[in-house]
Structure formats: structure tokens, C-alpha cells
Amino acid sequence: MKEWDRSTKKLLPETIQSEIAAAIQEHIQSYNLGPILDDYLICIETVSNKKKKPFYRLGLFDLIGDKHRIEVAIVTPRWLVVGTRGEKPDSAAALTVQLKDVVVMDHMDHPAYKAIPDTGLHVTGIFTGRVGMQGNQRISIFLGLGEEPAADEFKDALLKGMQSTRL
């Protein structure tokens, strides 16, 4: 059984929730990435709500972390931009990765799917702005997605963007 209810929709970058938009703009400016959002291919927002656990499964780890998250993902011809916000104040953050450096795996194809059924993508690459990491180590993030057509459009745009950077 899935632990999260997720819903994904397309949106325009100018309609991104203000805290996430500010985190994305600050990230872009901090790393001198330039006008990378000017020619975006797709922008989506995924709202994730953690399902309540039955009484017998309540434990210490169920009390840690957000029960509500908003993630925004933007694909451009060269970049994947991810912004996220949890329940806590000032929790908005952003990361970017160049599509030429990315490896993507659908969660349904990931070994963890049997233990943790969910919908989304594992994105591995050399991210700009990794917190607490040094050098150019590759890391992997999980980008949760709903089951709506917008999620499929996003996956297609991401894969096409990746392919076009590798020609």
C-alpha cells in the first residue's frame, strides 16, 4: 500500500507557489546559472500528502518529517530544476542538474518498489547546490509524481530533453 497520496498538475513558472519560486530564483542567482527558465519545456507541481498509518504502525519514525510536501519540477533544454517545500517555515529549497549528466529510473522499475510502492522518478546526477556535500559526487533524489497525464507529459519531456543533450 502506498504511503503517499500524490497529485501532479502542469503550471506556468510564474504561478509557482511564492516560497518555492523565491528558493528557485535564489538558487539560480547563487550559482550564476543565468536565464535558464526562459525557454522551459514543462513545469509541474506535485502535492504529496502522507497517508495516516494505522494505530499499530505508529512509531518514532512516523513522527519525523513532513506529512505534506509540494514539489515543483521544471525541464528546460539543458536543465532540470527542482524546488520543494514542506510544512515547516522556511523549508523551501531548490536544486538543479544538467540533463547531460542525469540518469533517470522510474520508481516502478527500482528495486525498492516492492518494499515501498510509490509513483515517481529516481534522478541521479551531479546536482548544483547540494547541501552538506562537497566535490562533484553523484547523488540521487526521489521526485514523487502523481498518476495524472501531467506526470506522464513530464516524464516524456525529461527523457526527450536528456536525449537531445546527448546527440
φ and ψ at residue 6, rounded to 5 degrees: -125, 145
CB proximity list for 83: less than 8 A, separation 6 or greater: 16, 20, 21, 23, 24, 27, 71, 72, 73, 92, 93, 94
Q: What percent of the chain has pLDDT over 90?
A: 51
Strand 68-75, strand 79-85: pairing: antiparallel
Model confidence at 32: pLDDT above 90: yes
pLDDT for 101 equals 85
Question: Looking at the whole model, is its pTM more than 0.95?
Answer: no
Model confidence at 137: pLDDT above 80: no
Look up cell 523551501; give the residue: 92
- Residues facing residue 70 across a β-bridge: 47, 85
- Residues facing residue 105 across a β-bridge: 122
CB proximity list for 39: less than 8 A, separation 6 or greater: 76, 77
pLDDT in tens, 80-128: 999 999 888 788 999 999 999 898 888 777 777 677 777 788 888 988 8
Model confidence at 21: pLDDT above 70: yes
pLDDT in tens, 63-81: 456 788 899 999 999 999 9
Domains, the chain, in order of start with CATH, read: 4-165 (2.30.29)
Distance CA 81, CA 34 (A): 13
Quick one: CA torsion of 108, 114, 118, 122, rounded to 10 degrees? -50
